[in-house]
Each structure stands twice: as C-alpha cells, then as structure tokens.
Amino acid sequence: MLFDTLDLGTVDADSAREFLLQATRLASSGDLEDLGQRLRRKSDAFRRTLGRDAVRATDAGELQRLMGTVFGLRRAVGPLLARLPPEVLREAIADLLYGSAPAPQRLQVFVERLPGLDETAAVSLASELLHYTYPEQCWLWTPWMWRADTQAGALPLVLQNGQALGAGPLAERYEEVGRAVAAVDAVGAREGFTRLGAGLFGTHAFLACVYAVYMYTVFRMKLSQEFNRILPELPELTRRILGVQRAEFR
C-alpha cells in the first residue's frame, strides 16, 4: 500500500466499472491484459538501465531512448539533452531515484533542475522515472491522469463528484495524486476493475482506458467523422499514452 490511511469513499466505483465496461467494448480482454504486461517490461527496462550502480554510467543514447517512452516528451528529449550535459542529467536522475528525502520532495527538486522544460513535461518524466524504478512504491502523474491547470484527466473521472485535486506546492500535489491513485488501486482490487496487470501496473492501465474512453466520447461529440477515423483504436491509443507501443514492450 502506498499510504497507511486512505479515504476509499473518494472513488466512484460505479463510474469506474462503467468505464471498464466501455473499454471492453472497444478492445479484447487480451488487448487489455497486454497493457499490464507491457508496463512490467517497461519497468524492467528502467530498473535495468537506471539501477543504483548503473545510472551514472548510462550513455546519452540510452537516456534518450528511455525518456522517449514518456507520453508527450519525445519531441522535447533532443532539445533537453542539447541544453543539459548527459552527466548533469544522470546526476539529477540519480538524486531523484536514490536521494534520502521523501519521493515528493525529490520530484520537486528534479523538476527545478531541468532548464527549459515546462513543469507538466518535467513532472511526467520524474514520475515515470520513479514509478518504473519503484513500481509498487511510487506512482505516475502524467497530464492525461490529471492536469492541475484544467483539473481534468482520468483521475477526476473516477473520483466522487469529479473531485478536484489540490493546487499546493508541487511535492504536495504529487502526494495527493498518489493518494488518489492508491484509493483507485484499493477499490479496484476489491471491485475488480484494475485487474489488468500486477499491482499499480493494472491500476495505471485501467486509468489509461478511462482516458481513452473519455477521448472517444469527446471526439465523437465534437469532431468530424473523418477525424474520428484517424484516432487510433483503443488498444493502440492506451499503449501510446502509456509509452509502451514500441516493439521491445510486446
């Protein structure tokens, strides 16, 4: 469990089950279970490359490959590596993963050390580094899960009354996202809607399905049929937002 105490009543289990039902109408059970397996393989790659003894020896090419799996970050990786020498980035990642402060504080410091990268992208990178290295202790915080500026994302869709998350300092916001993820994880394990993978892999796969179903609903209402036809099918869409579309995660 991520936290000792949780308010499980914050999760709207009925809405969560409905989102999963809609996802099963757009993808096979095998496709959905494949998400959890791909996330496990992504975690294996992060842990192998960014282990305590390996992280400071990781070359720029390997850093770029890993960072390219972060949703919305691929185009920013090259410019970031051009501005930030690999040894500086490696040191920042090592401090993020193996520093002595609590994870939320380490995340905030890491974000502050990335010049020229907007906060949303930097948080996505930091949270993926933490989660895939410590998959049962740390959680994702990506813009498709929750954006502080718009109060939108997958998490509010499965919280009671679209419950808003906080707007305090970055470390506090990350911890609050973690509490929401942990509550969804706990209720999902009880109710069965997060069993798409082991532990938080299943919970994050479920939240990706929630966001994908939401995207289909919005696009069908607002956009043309021509645009809808180029939107990826749900299995591919969820793989892309989770950063596991590549062949090595099959």
The closest of 132, 127, 19 to 73, measured between CA atoms, is: 127
Model confidence at 205: pLDDT above 70: yes
For every residue of 81-130, DSSP letters joined together read HHHS-HHHHHHHHHHHHH-SS-HHHHHHHHHHTSTT--HHHHHHHHHHHH
pLDDT at 249: 80
Q: Using alpha carbons only, what angle is made at residue 89 by residues 52 and 42, rounded to the nearest 5 degrees?
A: 55
In a domain, 3, yes or no: no
**Contact status, residue 60 vs residue 81, Cβ threshold 8 Å:** yes
Q: Give the tens place of pLDDT for each residue, 92-146.
A: 999 999 999 999 999 999 999 987 788 899 999 999 999 999 999 999 999 999 9
In a domain, 2, yes or no: no
Collapsed DSSP state (helix, strand, coil) of residue 196: coil
In a domain, 137, yes or no: yes
Question: In which element (H, E) is residue 228 found?
Answer: helix 225-230
Q: Which of 80-89, 118-127, 200-209, 233-242 has the lowest mean pLDDT?
A: 80-89
Number of folded domains that form the chain: 1
In a domain, 244, yes or no: yes
In a domain, 1, yes or no: no
Contact residues for 131 (Cβ-Cβ < 8 A; gap 6+):
43, 138, 139, 140, 200, 204
Query: Is this structure's pTM higher than 0.85?
Result: yes
The closest of 197, 240, 246, 181 to 2, measured between CA atoms, is: 181
Domain extent for 100: 8-249
